[in-house]
Amino acid sequence: MKPLKAEPAARKKPAAATAAPSGKHALAPEPAPEPKPYHHGNLRETLLAAADGVLARQGAAGITLRDVAKAAGVSHAAPYHHFASLDEMLAAVAERGFAQLAMAMAAPAGESDPRERLLQICEAYVNCARSHPAQFRLMFGPLLARKHEFPTLKTAAEGAFAQLLAASTALDAGRGPELALLGWSLAHGLSNLLIDGAFDGLPMELPAGATLARQLAARALGELGR
């Protein structure tokens, strides 16, 4: 009787290799970026500064709260924590513009010669307008006619005019309001003409903007204060 042969030990099957994706190795998905909080720092000032930048690049036409939020690096909903509408935000930008204008016009307040003070105010007005043309157009755009809807804008605009009125009255108490309107009209009209490049190519040599403003204002004042 033949001895029984032992059965060969069952071979272990190799562990199935993990299938690798074809082509490039798969990369782990990147984590979604965390939304930026709306309450960082001083959000209102951040938004107004961003609005100034957007305004300078593209003007007031077509500007949106979304544009400003993107420029400020905050969520699209963040501006609504401080401004109920685009007009309200733009009114705040215009208000800051008038405050800056008033400050520039107040700089010559220490000038003892009232005529010289008026001439320097005219120069300051034109310099402000030319330094921030988009903001200047916004300040005197359609929102100004609605200033009663925005009390702080109304106050800022009136404060700027008060600087001119005070200087005009110091020169001539009886004709102060008339001189203020004359000076404002001259400086404002000249500012717009310079911003628009209306004088480019004229067949005459013109001085720099502020110097031209001073010369025209002196001509308008005539012999007053001399």
Is position 7 within any domain? no
Q: Quick one: 70 and 110 in the same domain?
A: no
Predicted confidence (pLDDT) per residue in 27-65, tens digit: 455 554 444 444 556 899 999 999 999 999 888 887 899
Q: What predicted TM-score, i.e. pTM, was given to this entire model?
A: 0.78
CB 85 within 8 A of CB 94: no
What six digits make up the tokens of 118? 């008026």
Is position 29 within any domain? no
pLDDT for the residue 29: 53
Q: What's the helix, strand, coil split of the chain in %, to 5?
A: 60, 0, 40
Q: Quick one: 147 and 185 in the same domain?
A: yes
Tell me the chain's radius of gyration from C-alpha atoms: 33
Q: How far apart are CA 197 and CA 225, in angstroms?
A: 33
Q: Quick one: 65 and 169 in the same domain?
A: no
CATH number, residue 208: 1.10.357.10
Q: Quick one: 112 and 217 in the same domain?
A: yes
Which position has the token pair 């009886």? 174
Which position has the token pair 């107040």? 106
Sign of the torsion formed by the C-alpha atoms of 111, 114, 115 and 117: positive
CATH number, residue 56: 1.10.10
SS3 at position 92: helix
Is position 4 within any domain? no
Is position 154 within any domain? yes
Below-50 pLDDT ranges, the chain = 1-27, 32-38
Residue at a domain's end among 51, 83, 115:
83
What is the separation of C-alpha 208 from the centre of its chain, rounded to a whole number of angstroms? 25
CB 136 within 8 A of CB 100: no
Q: Quick one: 95 and 174 in the same domain?
A: yes
Give me the number of domains the chain comprises.
Answer: 2
Can you give the residue range of the structural domain that contains 141? 88-221
Q: Quick one: 139 and 95 in the same domain?
A: yes
Q: Quick one: 96 and 198 in the same domain?
A: yes
Task: Give the angle subtended at the CA of 148 by the CAs of 78 and 46, to the nearest 5°.
Answer: 25
Q: Give the list of residues 6+ apart from residue 113 with CB closer than 8 angstroms, or none.
A: 225
pLDDT for the residue 41: 65
What is the separation of C-alpha 58 from the centre of its chain, rounded to a whole number of angstroms? 10
Is position 213 within any domain? yes
pLDDT for the residue 17: 45
Residue at a domain's end among 65, 83, 101:
83
Residue at a domain's end among 31, 50, 83:
83
pLDDT for the residue 26: 47
Q: Quick one: 69 and 151 in the same domain?
A: no
Q: Quick one: 163 and 214 in the same domain?
A: yes
CB atoms inside a 10 Å sphere around CB 177: 12
Q: Quick one: 99 and 78 in the same domain?
A: no
Q: Quick one: 78 and 133 in the same domain?
A: no
Q: Quick one: 150 and 190 in the same domain?
A: yes
CA-nearest of 43, 57, 130 to 92 is 43
